Amino acid sequence: MMFTGAVQASPLQTDEATSNPLLEATEIVRPIDDGIYVYGSAPEADQVGAGYLVFEAQGSSVIGAIYMPQSSFDCFQGTVSGNELALQITNSYTQEVYDYDIALVSTEEPIASTEAVEFPLQLEGFFDLGTADESNRELLAICQADLLSPEMEL
């Protein structure tokens, strides 16, 4: 017996009710608690040649300063966007604004969870230096005053 007919393949039908949500790509969002943060490219404060960030987070917005000890500093504002800190840094000399993204990472990853999970804030390539000292708070206050003040029109 011989079959002599062509059969056209049809696309596989999927039922949305039976699709597996674990197989869908999802983005892990790491929330940032409101507060002031200090990070450095060195594990200790005030190391010449190392870069530092001090910023205040409110909701998903951040504002702060990026600096090197015994050097100038630049102010930035930005947001937590997905798994990164998306910053807009204002050059203190030229007033040029440029984008800079820092990945948010965590040493603790849950395998599965049905509830919101708190992650400690970690910035890729930076060490958490704990509480802001007086000089960090002064830089932060300068940047907040500069970036949050209404622009004067001539």
State the CB neighbour count (10 A cutoff) for residue 75: 24
3 state SS of 49: coil
Question: Could you report the per-residue pLDDT of 12-61, keeping only the tens digit for each?
Answer: 444 444 444 443 444 444 567 899 999 999 999 999 999 999 999 998 99
Question: Could you report the per-residue pLDDT of 65-83, keeping only the tens digit for each?
Answer: 999 999 999 999 999 988 8
DSSP 66-134: EE-TTS-EEEEEEEEETTEEEEEEEPTTT--EEEEEEEEE-S---S--SS------EETT-EE--S--H
Question: Could you report the per-residue pLDDT of 109-137, keeping only the tens digit for each?
Answer: 555 555 555 556 789 999 999 999 999 99
State the CB neighbour count (10 A cutoff) for residue 33: 9
